[in-house]
Amino acid sequence: MTDTMNRTSPGTPIDGDRPTAGDENIVSLLRDLTSQGSHLAEQQLALIKAEVRETGNDLKAAIGAMAGAAVVGIAGLGVLLMALAYLLADAINHLGLATLIVGVVTLIIAYVMYRGGAAKMRAVDIAPERTQHSLERTPAALRGDLHPEQRR
């Protein structure tokens, strides 16, 4: 007959009061894992904030360039259309044609400036790529595989 009262599983305290060395190691490892996990989450959040801030600054610069192009375009339509149209009208003796020529040239300059601002806007990358890459690597890092790219 077997005595089931005296059998214990490995790592189970016999007297019920003191944990064995194996239990202390597991508790310590879980505590370290939890601490490192929360630290990793904090670092990821800080990285996301930094990337969003950087993208916002780039976006502000592009919007500023486009607004500057709009202001210059409007000023050009006002001042240049008046001044150059009258100067050209004196040269060709036709005020209507002179006004049309000056207006077209001014709009071409404004369009070129707008395209420059639009190119800057396209160059801004809104997606936080570094964070996405880090988040893709996180499950592998938790498994202990710190260099998954080398296996490809």
Which tens digit of pLDDT belongs to each residue from 36-71? 888 888 888 888 888 888 888 888 889 999 999 988
Within 10 A of 55 (CB to CB), how many other CB atoms are there?
Answer: 15
Q: Is the pLDDT of residue 130 over 90?
A: no
Q: Is the pTM of this model over 0.85?
A: no
Q: Who contacts 117 (Cβ-Cβ below 8 Å, separation ≥6)?
A: 62, 65, 66, 68, 69
Are residues 98 and 85 in contact, defined by beta-carbon separation less than 8 angstroms? yes
Rounded to whole angstroms, the Cα distance separating 152 from 140 reads: 14
What does pLDDT average to over the chain? Answer: 77
User: Residue 50: its pLDDT value, please?
Assistant: 84
User: Residue 4: its pLDDT value, please?
Assistant: 47
- Worst-scoring range by mean pLDDT, 5-9, 17-21, 75-79, 99-103? 5-9
Which of the pair, 93 or 30, is modelled with greater confidence?
Answer: 93
Q: What is the pLDDT of residues 80-112, one digit of tens each?
A: 678 888 999 999 999 899 888 888 888 898 899
Mean pLDDT for 17-23 is: 60
User: Residue 115: its pLDDT value, please?
Assistant: 93
Are residues 85 and 99 in contact, defined by beta-carbon separation less than 8 angstroms? yes
